[in-house]
Amino acid sequence: MNSDYLRDYAASADANALADGLPLTPLQKKLMGQVDEMGVAWAERAFAHDREASFPQDNFNDLHKMGFFGLCVPERLGGIGADYRTYMLVATRIGYYCGATANTFNMHNANALWTSSMVDALDMTPEQRAQHEHNRSVHYARMLAGSIYAQPFSEGSGAAAGRHPFGTSAVRRDGGWVLNGKKIFASLSGSAQYYGVLCTEDVPNPTMAHTLFMAIPADSPGLSIVGDWDPLGMRGTVSRTLLLNNVELSDEAALMPRGIYAQAASRYPHMFMTLTPTYMGVAQAAYDFAVAYLRADMPGVNVKRRMYPTKQIAIADMYIKLQQAWSLFHRTTSEFKLDPSRSERMRALACQYTVMEYCAEICSSAVKVCGGQAMLKTFALERLFRDSRCGALMLPWTAEICLDRLGKGLLYNEGEPRDDAV
């Protein structure tokens, strides 16, 4: 498919990037402009990556050339120094052109976003601070030199949902660590040079406070990638299974000091919604596709269908959902901070739920309103539809978990005992 129409339609996403009508910062404008320059090529490559379930290495080569491997690496360490909200905005634009690229780029980028200024604001000893400064400069230098970092946390148990400590264990031995365990859905598997895993220090009665965040080099003895990858959507993420069998790591592998991940996870809830922009972008892309299709504004579509009242109502309904999602997205991404208030925490969960579910609903409506010819594989829409269903499945904030936490969090104040069911 010729995706040139996106050059004009990206402007709609642009208008939606404004929060409260405020202009983007010069850096945000520049970064989103850089994505726009590459975006049409990424949208066209998405067909093959989806068909073959192959990782968009070509797009990552572009992202590396653009300096985006260091998007959230501080400027003083050679990166672009984008803050949380800037990343979130830029990622919506990447997702607009290619969902799988945005989804996987999120995994890489989170390894820098979470370990830079976010960590600096947490409680650490001077020794931890010094060690962290050393470690992150090593990891950031690798990213800037072209290494891709993945972030496989999931294990197929309740650990990634925050129910209990991770089953992957780290034993202290000879001044280093030995890791054993299994990680499922390791996006970027086979393409990443480092895998940022969460594991639990091998101590008696471990808790979440014993979680370690370690980067495993892809060529480590004992690390293997197994299983097939033939999923419904987000096929370009290539999220296969990692097996860790006595993988040896030095202290330098730590992406956060001991005990700090648990502190970050409880004090920065917004860190778990960095996949929302991917799906915000997919939702915008599906909406724009439907408008362009009904107006016959895209190559391969010669018949206008916009004159039918049913189409107009459906588009109006999609637009309303899209605007609701954008509004919540902007408000919530502007509320990122250490120790947010209860209502800010609740709103973040509501935002994640809204974006993930509305994205799937908007894509589904787009298929209905555009009709049979539009869902052929010559068009992007059927891929957007399949990709859109994946957002609500991402732990730790799946759509169901968001509802669960919202329900409890809204009816019980912090620390209030649970009532027995009658």
369 binds ligand FAD (CB under 6 A): no
227 binds ligand FAD (CB under 6 A): no
Looking at residue 249, its amino acid is L
Compute the least distance from the CB of residue 399 to ligand FAD, in Å.
6
Report how far residue 60's alpha carbon sits from residue 289's, in angstroms, rounded to the nearest whole number: 25
Compute the least distance from the CB of residue 366 to ligand FAD, in Å.
20
Please tell me whether the peptide bond between 417 and the residue prior to it is cis, using omega within 30 degrees of 0. Answer: no
Q: Give the helix ranges, DSSP H, for 17-152.
A: 26-52, 57-65, 84-97, 99-113, 117-120, 126-144
Looking at residue 392, its amino acid is A
From candidates 116, 151, 200, 365, binder to ligand FAD by CB under 6 A: 151
394 binds ligand FAD (CB under 6 A): yes
Site string for ligand FAD, 102-141 (x = CB under 6 A): -----x----------------------------------
Compute the least distance from the CB of residue 118 to ligand FAD, in Å.
19
From candidates 400, 408, 410, 412, binder to ligand FAD by CB under 6 A: 400
Q: Select the span of 7-15, 232-240, 301-309, 371-379 touching ligand FAD (CB under 6 A).
A: 232-240
From candidates 3, 154, 276, 278, binder to ligand FAD by CB under 6 A: 154
395 binds ligand FAD (CB under 6 A): yes
- Spell out a b/e string for 332-347, using b for 16 or more CB atoms within 10 Å of the CB, else e: bbebbeeebeeebbbb
From candidates 404, 407, 410, 412, binder to ligand FAD by CB under 6 A: 404
Provide DSSP, 173-204: ETTEEEEEEEEEEETTTTT-SEEEEEEEE--S
Compute the least distance from the CB of residue 89 to ligand FAD, in Å.
22
Strands (E), 218-355: 223-226, 240-249
Give the phi and the psi of residue 74 in degrees, each rounded to 5.
-60, 150
The pairing of strands 240-249 and 211-217 is unpaired
Q: Is 117 helix (H, G, I), strand (E, B) or coil?
A: helix
Q: Select the span of 200-208, 213-221, 344-352, 398-406 touching ligand FAD (CB under 6 A).
A: 398-406
H-helix or E-strand containing 369?
A: helix 342-370
185 binds ligand FAD (CB under 6 A): yes
Compute the least distance from the CB of residue 130 to ligand FAD, in Å.
30
Report how far residue 201's alpha carbon sits from residue 395's, in angstroms, rounded to the nearest whole number: 22
Interface residues with ligand FAD (CB under 6 A) are: 107, 151-154, 156, 158, 160-161, 163, 185-187, 234, 237, 239, 390, 393-395, 398, 400-401, 404
